[in-house]
Amino acid sequence: KTELAKIDPLHMDEKAMEHAGRLIAEGELVAFPTETVYGLGGDALHPEAAKKIYAAKGRPSDNPLIVHIAEFSDLERIAKEVPEQARKLADAFWPGPLTMIVWKNDSVPYATTGGMDTVAVRMPNHPVALELIRKSGCLIAAPSANTSGRPSPTEAAHVAEDLEGKIAMILDGGPVKIGIESTIVDLTEKTPMILRPGYITPQMLSEVLGEPVEIDPGIIAADDTRKPKAPGMKYKHYAPKADLVLVDGAKDAVIAKINELAGEKKKAGKKVAVIATEETRNAYQADVILCIGSRMDEDSIAQHLYKILRDCDELEVDAIYSESFVTPRIGQAIMNRLLKAAGHQVIHV
């Protein structure tokens, strides 16, 4: 029932894109690639489309959607007012992996914003996403195109795994570039606040804004005492079926600890996976060694993170041990996802 179309981003199939755009305009759902993760798109200004999105994902309807736009003027169409900060950030980072929260106007239905008076807006940096928005003549509300609680999809096959039969169409534009969701910055308060870390770092934002940027304490707290400001960040996310534990510390100590723990599990008859890097993959003894990327190239770690978490489910392991990745630039964004997947179980050595 779900149509699947392979789209070469450099030579887009005009007919398929027109068809996909028409489906959106008719209120149907189309999954599409962006530079961060695949999105599940529907007409952002049509409450029925938003309801379909929640139903397909099995997502609570108080969790607001991001509105994807193709022109800066689209922001003016849906925002109550466009703050000066939004102009600066758009100049620097749009199209790109940055979502801005602004006050909404009456054209945006509460179904799209989960009942909030603010709206999240992003201009994605992917030719297929931008063309879909233009062809549909709509603004496109799109959460990540996964079943709620599963890792975000970084290739079309992940979308099909979760949503086949539940949506009208999947546009397959190949694997995504970045692999983790956009940075979210809230511009509705005096000081801009990051509600979700991503590829665009706090330093990059404050440099462009010429003012400090805060980070929502709720997104780094290990307990539930602080409530995150982005409703979606409070839900348990990306949890693999097996128990995942992170081990943090100096390289050799981490290797020794993971091998010790993996050995104990193996003795108990359990199947164990280790999430390792190019630099360490040969140092482990376990049933499965999954290489997430190279420490010399932190982008590669972000790119493979969600795929590896999906692989863990597929391999039906009982326990997973992972190195931790406090890498210089997007380390915070990577660890934010990994810590959630691990339910904040970290062993420091």
Work out what residue 64 binds among ligand TXA, Mg ion, none; the CB cut-off runs from 5 to 8 Å by kind. Answer: ligand TXA
The residue whose Cβ lies closest to Mg ion is 144
Residues 232-271 that bind Mg ion (CB under 5 A): none
Work out what residue 24 binds among ligand TXA, Mg ion, none; the CB cut-off runs from 5 to 8 Å by kind. Answer: none
77 vs 270, beta carbon nearer ligand TXA: 77
37 vs 89, beta carbon nearer Mg ion: 37
β-pairing, 346-348 vs 319-323, is unpaired
261 three-state secondary structure: helix
- Dihedral class, residue 27 (left if φ above 0, else alpha if ψ from -120 to 50, else beta): left
36 vs 277, beta carbon nearer Mg ion: 36
Sequence-separated (6 or more) residues with CB below 8 Å from residue 221: none
Work out what residue 277 binds among ligand TXA, Mg ion, none; the CB cut-off runs from 5 to 8 Å by kind. Answer: none
Give yes or no for a contact between 151 and 292, defined as CB atoms under 8 angstroms apart.
no
- Dihedral class, residue 108 (left if φ above 0, else alpha if ψ from -120 to 50, else beta): beta
User: DSSP code of 217?
Assistant: G
Instruction: Name the binding residues.
Output: 36, 59, 63, 68, 118, 122, 142, 144, 152, 182, 196, 238
Q: Is 280 in the site for Mg ion (CB under 5 A)?
A: no
Q: Is 144 in the site for Mg ion (CB under 5 A)?
A: yes
Q: Which residue, chain included where needed, has tokens 């339910």?
A: 343
Question: 9-36 burial by CB neighbour count: b if 16+ within 10 A, else e?
Answer: eeebeeebbebbbebbeeebbbbbbbbb
66 vs 292, beta carbon nearer ligand TXA: 66
118 vs 144, beta carbon nearer Mg ion: 144
Q: Which residues bind ligand TXA (CB under 6 A)?
A: 34, 36-37, 39, 63-66, 99, 101, 113, 116, 118-120, 122, 124, 142-144, 181-182, 184, 195, 229-233
Residues that bind Mg ion (CB under 5 A): 144
